[in-house]
Structure 1
Amino acid sequence: MKKLNLEKIENLITNFINRYNIKNILLAISGGQDSIYLIKILEKLKKKSYYKYLQTSYIYVDHQWKNNSKKQIQHIINYIKLVNANIIIYQINKITLSEDECRKYRYNIILQHAIKYKFKLIITGHNSTDKIETFIQNFIKGSGIESLNNLAIKSRVFQEIFILRPLLKLNRNRIYWSCKKLYLPIWSDSTNYFYKIQRNRIRQEFIPYIKQYLHKNIENNIKYLINNYHYQNEYIKQNVIKLYLKSKHNKRTAINYIKINKQNFILQIKTIQLFCFHNLQIYLETQKIIKIIKQLNKKLTNVSKIISHSSFIFFIHKNWLYISIKT
């Protein structure tokens, strides 16, 4: 194990703590090697004299996927007791193997807990292998460029609540051997071999197949691609914001669609999406945005209804695209 790994992760966490004046941390754990490794880092950090004020708490969400889930919970509790820390355990009564559903339940529980008990920082154990697997999942779903790179090292999730993913530079294998070197009690999770879960099939079959028969450096190539997509997405977002500010009405809930129609097609889509989100807090699907753009291209001159969505109506008048509440 390179000692540098521990130091880099510790420095990342301490810099974040100092920058945002963090007093308490909520670590979302799964009981696997990533969680155990992070517990070790946090408890080591708290022993430093200038961080003794730091309060840490651990949260675990049990999806009841396996028969021995109670034993795993007891294993986690025993280890948390060993480091003299606190843990909160939530149990989901509705058992499902849908990874998307479980993720929504889990994130909602963790965020609500953080809001209720005023945690400013949530730390998760996502690593670089998770990032690659998430990229492949989103690619299969046909997600847009912004979703292909949705695991960032840090992100704001609610007002002054942040999520930090300090292990994103390390892959699963390196974390495993780091835990071995530190003699940490890793729990072998049998759900990693449930092939009904798409991520497991990607991890156990899809990536190994590509590495053996198509390209042995597939993981590094995906990392490079994710990095490129990040900068491309940032460039698009900056131009969308500029276009929206130039196009929006000074007083009314409207944008000048003549100015928007002159731009690149993807900028048109993103600007109308931003217009909807900024004014209504709704995310309009790309297909509906395309329908709106097609209607705008017909160059209608009178007041004309374009499309309706939920309780809102989109219509045009002169050069402006308006949003109105249904009456």
Structure 2
Amino acid sequence: MWSIIHQQLVLLIKEHDLVKNSNILLALSGGQDSLCLLQIFKDIQIEYIFSIDIIHFNHQWRIDATQNMFLIAQLSMYLKMSRYLYTMPVGIMDEMTSRQWRYKLVYFLSIQKKYTMIMTAHTATDKAEVFFLNLLRGSPLETLISLVILNQLTSKLVVYRPLLFCNRSDIYWFCRKFFLPVWSDSTNYNYGMVRNRIREEFIPYLMQYFNLKIEKYINYIVSIIYNDYEYLQYIALYFYYRSRHIRFAALYRKIMIVLHSSIRYRILKILLKEYVNLQIYKKLMLLISHKQHDNNNIILRHIIYQDSCLIGLYIDNNWLYFVSSN
């Protein structure tokens, strides 16, 4: 018998019309969120006709991490599902490096095995946590909305997060109802990690003393920010293609000068990410806004790329050039 979460997710699937006949790779940690997602998709698989396989990462950060991986292996054998189990190399202890390691493995495996969808079990609670975490770090606007329901990686590969309408209490109820073998991750209770403190202390404090529905309203705010961000990106892309040089990593200054600083920032970010993968600096914004420039080279010595490659900035009255020099 289907639960209310089954029914809501089926409505979501019908809305996006992506799952049917898809080749899905599901990231499974063994926690309640991913087990809930696995249970739902196994229940609806007959009706929607798709294939689904499992990928699991053992970070070796816990004493019981290997036992957790064995549980995933046994579960996949019981469900007759293909599985990919990876153990992270010893010595990687920070979250950023481990995330990059996971992303690379998932991406290249998806390309090699021709998966059309990568599915993760992020929830509305995760979205609120990521919002506050990046907000407190002073991160850019796009990081506040990093958890969206659908990301198009390539023309044939998407990342799908169908549980973003659920919060953690909904998932907890689902797992108890269906007697799912949830593996408790002890690192979730390490308050030395900022995200755990946000989850266990900060958000419950806001819910108790300010707004009981804080997660719901944060998700509403994120959806508004996302729409605004998509619109600004669309405008920035339009003027980027209007102002970029045909052959060089360069921008037409006469167009850039008349644009709003927010659009300029985004255009610079598109250019630098595409060509040299650097951060945006306020100094570049000031240089662009100057009305006149002598034909001289300006080396931004504080910008260092891979292998100590300096990025030279050449500006004349018409063009803004970026040149790398070893």
TM-score grouping bracket, smaller chain normalisation: 0.7 to 0.9
Of 242-251 and 128-137, the range deviating more from structure 2: 242-251
Please state how far the C-alpha of 1:8 moved relative to its aligned partner.
3.1
Structure 2 CA distance for partners of 1:243 and 1:177, relative to 1, 3 Å = same
- Per the normalisation by structure 2, the TM-score is 0.88
2:26 aligned counterpart, secondary structure: strand
Please state how far the C-alpha of 1:84 moved relative to its aligned partner.
1.4
Please state how far the C-alpha of 1:167 moved relative to its aligned partner.
0.5
Does residue 143 of structure 1 match 2:139? yes
1:269 aligned counterpart, secondary structure: helix
Residue number among 198, 213, 221 corresponding to 1:225 in the alignment: 221
- Per the normalisation by structure 1, the TM-score is 0.88
Residue number among 209, 222, 244 corresponding to 2:205 in the alignment: 209
User: How many correspondences in the alignment?
Assistant: 317
Structure 2 CA distance for partners of 1:157 and 1:250, relative to 1, 3 Å = closer
Please state how far the C-alpha of 1:250 moved relative to its aligned partner.
4.5
Of 217-226 and 263-272, the range deviating more from structure 2: 217-226
Equivalent residues in 2 for 1:54-93 (5 A)?
Answer: 54-93=50-89
Does residue 293 of structure 1 match 2:292? no
Partners of 2:297 and 2:2 in 1: CA distance: 63
Please state how far the C-alpha of 1:323 moved relative to its aligned partner.
2.6
Partner of 2:317 in structure 1? 318
Partners of 2:207 and 2:67 in 1: CA distance: 35
Partner of 1:7 in structure 2? 7
Partner of 2:184 in structure 1? 188
Please state how far the C-alpha of 1:316 moved relative to its aligned partner.
1.4
Partners of 1:158 and 1:147 in 2: CA distance: 20
- Please give the per-residue CA displacement for 1:164-201, whole angstroms capped at 9, x wherever unaligned: 11111111110111122222222222222112222111
Of 206-215 and 301-310, the range deviating more from structure 2: 301-310
Contact 2:58–2:66 (Cα < 8 Å) also in 1: no
Please state how far the C-alpha of 1:143 moved relative to its aligned partner.
1.0
1:147 aligned counterpart, secondary structure: helix
Please state how far the C-alpha of 1:122 moved relative to its aligned partner.
0.9
Structure 2 CA distance for partners of 1:41 and 1:214, relative to 1, 3 Å = closer
Partner of 2:19 in structure 1? 17
Does residue 169 of structure 1 match 2:180? no
Please state how far the C-alpha of 1:97 moved relative to its aligned partner.
4.8
Partner of 2:41 in structure 1? 42
Partners of 1:324 and 1:97 in 2: CA distance: 36
Contact 1:63–1:95 (Cα < 8 Å) also in 2: no
Please state how far the C-alpha of 1:59 moved relative to its aligned partner.
0.7
Partners of 2:44 and 2:313 in 1: CA distance: 54
Of 72-81 and 139-148, the range deviating more from structure 2: 72-81
Does residue 31 of structure 1 match 2:33? no
Unaligned runs of 5+ residues in structure 1 are none
Contact 2:256–2:288 (Cα < 8 Å) also in 1: no
Structure 2 CA distance for partners of 1:135 and 1:313, relative to 1, 3 Å = same
Identity %: 31
Partners of 1:259 and 1:305 in 2: CA distance: 21
Instruction: Provide the aligned C-alpha RMSD in A.
Output: 2.4
Contact 1:66–1:190 (Cα < 8 Å) also in 2: yes
Please state how far the C-alpha of 1:204 moved relative to its aligned partner.
0.8
Contact 2:124–2:215 (Cα < 8 Å) also in 1: no
Structure 2 CA distance for partners of 1:93 and 1:322, relative to 1, 3 Å = closer
Q: In structure 1, what residue type is equivalent to 2:200?
A: Q
Structure 2 CA distance for partners of 1:266 and 1:306, relative to 1, 3 Å = farther
Structure 2 CA distance for partners of 1:2 and 1:17, relative to 1, 3 Å = closer
- Please give the per-residue CA displacement for 1:231-270, whole angstroms capped at 9, x wherever unaligned: 2211211221222233233555422212212222111111
Residue number among 294, 302, 306 corresponding to 1:302 in the alignment: 294
Partners of 2:277 and 2:10 in 1: CA distance: 37
